[in-house]
Amino acid sequence: MPNANRSDAIGDCELIDPALVTRFRDDLVGLAGQGEYRIGAAVSGGPDSMAMLALAAAAFPGRVEAATVDHGLRAAAADEAALVGRFCDGLGVPHRTLRVSVVHAASIQAAARDARYAALIGWAQERSLDLIVTAHHADDQAETMLMRLSRGAGLAGLTGIRANRAQDEIRIVRPLLGWRKAELGAIAAQIETIDDPSNEDPRHDRTHIRRLLAADTRLDAARFAAAAHHLAEAEEALAWVTREAIRSRCVFAADGSIEADLEGLPRDLLRRILAQLIETTDSVIDGPTLERVIESIAASRKSSVSGLQITPGRRIRLEKAPPRR
């Protein structure tokens, strides 16, 4: 519900500290590069996204549009989207409410996220926007990293929220990953915003992680965010090594088969190369199945996955599996 202790008087972007506007501009340009790109802001109405919208409108005047996704999960969602629309009117920013249907699954948050991004991508394509910005910040990054760590994630998972990625030719950029939630809250102090009750719902893992971070001052969200950044750089380096290994050690035949000299490689690199090679054959493999394939190779046993036969040896061979009798 809206926070009644605030007003929407900050419709004038000049009320924001110019140093913060410059910082936001530099952070976004650092991720997206220089250019006259058009920006789509994903704005829920919470303090974080409303602060981001105010910063974006001030930093890139005339180049920002905003969208609010109504997941249809709460009766108040339509009124909250209307509140964002009124704030956008004050900023001179075009606004659209995107209504979606969320399939009830084991994780309602994951289903809502998938529906939300699909709607935002469609909106950006329709409006010829070049990128979408979201308000994920350092505290979000810390929560995500701890959640994934508790689930036994590997390096790729521990990189956390990616600062820059592409989906259906639309770039999704998170310029606030170096900002703290309190900094955004200070910007939003004069804005009427929304307190989403789902943020305190004990059914969600993120709620427990958020409370843990708030309760123990030794757990510094900024340090977790920095660690996620370092891990992302390590992941990027390993991805480069994987591509180079495939280029130098693999032979792709005209019949669709692949031969790969992977002897002596570290297990993690072997895992990455095999996953990419299997993907190039249009086959699908999950983590546990890939581990079983690696164990079969180590034991000099043939294995098959998604219609693909993998034969161990000095040069591992991947080819279409023969038809079953």
pLDDT digits (tens, 9 = 90+) for 205-257: 777 777 877 777 787 888 888 888 899 899 999 999 999 999 999 999 999 89
4 occurs within a structural domain: no
Average pLDDT, integer, range 279-291: 87
Same domain, 268 and 201: no
Domain boundary pick from 197, 219, 241: 219
In the predicted model, what is the mean pLDDT of the chain?
87
Cα separation, 15 vs 240, whole angstroms: 45
Same domain, 55 and 131: yes
The model's pTM is 0.79
200 pLDDT higher than 50: yes
126 pLDDT higher than 60: yes
pLDDT band at 196 (very low <50, low <70, confident <90, very high): low
Residue 201: its pLDDT value, please?
59
Domain boundary pick from 219, 241, 262: 219
Cα angle 83, 198, 75 (rounded to 5 degrees) comes to 50
Backbone angles phi, psi at 246, to 5 degrees: -65, -40
Same domain, 142 and 74: yes
Pick the residue with more confidence: 282 or 48? 48
89 pLDDT higher than 50: yes
Structure tokens at 168: 């259906």
Same domain, 74 and 23: yes
Residue 24: its pLDDT value, please?
98
227 occurs within a structural domain: no
Positions of E strands within the chain? 39-42, 64-70, 95-99, 131-133, 164-167, 170-173, 250-252, 258-260, 303-305, 308-311, 316-320
Same domain, 260 and 204: no
Residue 83: its pLDDT value, please?
94
239 occurs within a structural domain: no
Residue 202: its pLDDT value, please?
56
User: Which residues span the domain enclosing 61?
Assistant: 9-219
Structure tokens at 21: 């506007």
Backbone angles phi, psi at 219, to 5 degrees: -90, 100
Same domain, 258 and 198: no
204 pLDDT higher than 50: yes
Same domain, 69 and 206: yes
Residue 5: its pLDDT value, please?
39
Query: Worst-scoring range by mean pLDDT, 47-61, 75-89, 185-199?
Result: 185-199
Pick the residue with more confidence: 152 or 28? 28
Domain boundary pick from 219, 234, 264: 219
Q: For the segment 299-313, what is each residue's pLDDT rounded down to a tens digit?
A: 999 998 888 899 999
Same domain, 48 and 193: yes
